[in-house]
Amino acid sequence: MSIVMRNCPSDIGIKIKDIRNKHSLSQDRFGKKLGLSGKTISSYETGRCAPPLRILKEISGTYDIPLVVVKEEKKQVITENISNIQKLLNELCSAFESSV
């Protein structure tokens, strides 16, 4: 399933185009390597639609390039959020076990 966007390149569309250009491939050749058409690649790059997760994984695996890069500050916030969620889950499990 794709998400319809507003015809403006997204960060992911720009990243896809950068990967394609780095490998000196046309949209058609890039698409064929992924089992897609050049028109589909164009729609991803221009923001007409967003690629599904399986396509992002395919691009990442085929070109051995992470498509999502998280800044160090964001990693810290994400790590803290995960830690807080784990604490809450542990409290919920303890409360549930004591009520049984």
Burial status of residue 92 (CB atoms within 10 A of its CB: 0-12, 13-18, 19 or more):
exposed
Quote the CA–CA distance of 59 and 55 in Å, as a whole number: 6
Residue 83 structural domain: 70-100
Is residue 4 included in any domain, yes or no?
A: no
Does the pLDDT at position 69 exceed 70?
A: no
Quote the CA–CA distance of 30 and 28 in Å, as a whole number: 6
End-to-end CA distance of the chain: 42
Interacting residues of 44 by C-beta distance below 8 A, sequence separation 6+:
12, 13, 16, 50, 51, 55
Q: What percent of the chain has pLDDT over 90?
A: 54
Helix axes 11-22, 53-63, angle to 10 degrees: 30
pLDDT score at 77? 85
In this structure, what token pair is assigned to residue 28?
């058609």
Mean pLDDT in the chain?
86
Q: Is the pTM of this model over 0.85?
A: no
Same-domain pairing of 18 and 55: yes
Is residue 1 included in any domain, yes or no?
A: no
Is residue 3 included in any domain, yes or no?
A: no
Domain count, the chain: 2
Residue 75 pLDDT level (bands cut at 50, 70, 90): confident
Is residue 24 included in any domain, yes or no?
A: yes
Does the pLDDT at position 1 exceed 50?
A: no
Mean pLDDT, rounded, for 39-53: 93
